[in-house]
Amino acid sequence: MKNILDFDKSALADYFQDIGEKPYRAVQIIKWIHQRAVDDFVQMTDISKVLRNKLGEDMVIRAPEIISDQQASDGTRKWLLGLHDGNGIEMVYIPETHRNTLCISSQAGCALKCSFCHTAQQGFNRDLRIGEIIGQLWLANRLLGQRITNVVFMGMGEPLLNFANVVSAVSLMLEDNAYGLSKRRVTISTSGVVPAIDALHERAGVSLAVSLHAANNPLRDLLVPINKKYPIEGLLQACHRYAVAGGARRHVTFEYVMLADVNDRDTDARQLARLMAPLPAKINLIPFNAFAGTAYRCSSAERIERFKTILQTKGLVTTVRKTRGDDIVAACGQLAGTVKQRQKRWLRVKPPNKEGAV
| Set 90, 132, 175, 255: catalytic member | 90
- Residue type for position 279: L
N residues, the chain: 358
Give the burial string for 276-293 (b: 16+ CB within 10 Å, else e): beebebbbbbbbbbbbee
Alpha helices (H) along the chain: 9-18, 25-30, 49-58, 130-144, 163-174, 194-203, 217-223, 232-244, 266-276, 301-313
Helix, strand or coil for residue 43? helix
Q: Supply φ then ψ for residue 67, to 5 degrees.
A: -100, -45
Residue 114 designated active-site: no
The 3-class secondary structure across 196-263, one letter per residue, is HHHHHHHHCCCEEEEECCCCCHHHHHHHCHHHHCCCHHHHHHHHHHHHHHHHCCCCEEEEEEEECCCC
How far apart (Å, rounded) are the C-alpha atoms in residues 177 and 65? Answer: 25
Asked if 132 and 168 touch (Cβ cutoff 8 Å), the reply is: no
DSSP state of 35: I
Q: What percent of the chain is helix, strand and coil (3-state, nearest 5)?
A: 40, 20, 40
| Set 103, 110, 298, 332: catalytic member | 332
Asked if 188 and 208 touch (Cβ cutoff 8 Å), the reply is: yes
Residue 90 designated active-site: yes
Q: Which of 174, 165, 172, 333 is nearest to 258 (CA)?
A: 333
Element (H, E) at 337: none
How far apart (Å, rounded) are the C-alpha atoms in residues 232 and 216? Answer: 7
> Starting at the edge strand that comes first in sequence, how are the strands of the sheet with 317-320 ordered?
65-71, 77-82, 88-95, 100-103, 150-153, 186-190, 207-211, 252-258, 281-287, 317-320
Which residues are identified as catalytic? Answer: 90, 332
